[in-house]
């Protein structure tokens, strides 16, 4: 992987901090609606100039970088969890012209546990960020496209 630009790291940190604050005041439905709208807005002001749509490899690389940056940034934002990482990652990827959706699921292991993750659409496959394939969470709802 290429060296990570400090501005990309700062951008993710800022987006994660904003997501953390918003989760204190908004319901999950309001958050998903807001982040969908924010993603549509930032697509108009990309992080770098785009020529055509991103290649499959570029999408996979950006998705992996998004996950890495969100995990790093969450160490610096007190209380940041999966939902905030998914919200920040959604906007960060949108600035790079990459479509994604936030998914929320639950599992029962003694107690009912919830988890949010991001699905990135990569031409022939779906890349799941912030989720392991075998963690037992079942999709309950997802961001509704506008």
pLDDT in the model for residue 61: 93
Among 11, 21, 32, which residue's Cα sits nearest to residue 100?
A: 32
What residue spans define the domains of the chain? 6-142
pLDDT in the model for residue 142: 87
- Run means of pLDDT, 10 residues per run, the chain, 146 residues: 81 96 93 90 71 82 94 94 95 92 90 92 87 84 75
The Cα–Cα gap between 124 and 59 comes to 12
Task: Classify residue 112 by its DSSP letter.
Answer: E
The Cα–Cα gap between 79 and 24 comes to 11
Q: Which two tokens stand for residue 125?
A: 């496959």
Which residue shows structure tokens 């807001």?
A: 34
């Amino acid at each position: 992987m290429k060296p990570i630009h400090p501005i990309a790291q700062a951008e993710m940190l800022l987006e994660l901090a904003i997501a953390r604050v918003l989760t204190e005041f908004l319901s999950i439905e309001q958050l998903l609606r807001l982040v969908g709208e924010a993603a549509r807005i930032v697509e108009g002001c990309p992080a770098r100039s785009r020529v055509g749509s991103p290649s499959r490899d570029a999408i996979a690389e950006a998705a992996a970088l998004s996950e890495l940056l969100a995990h790093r940034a969450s160490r610096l934002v007190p209380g940041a969890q999966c939902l905030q990482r998914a919200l920040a990652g959604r906007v960060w990827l949108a600035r790079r012209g990459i479509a994604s959706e936030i998914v929320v699921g639950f599992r029962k292991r003694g107690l009912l546990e919830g988890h949010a993750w991001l699905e990135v659409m990569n031409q022939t496959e779906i890349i799941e960020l912030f989720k392991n394939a075998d963690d037992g969470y079942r999709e309950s709802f997802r961001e509704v496209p506008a």
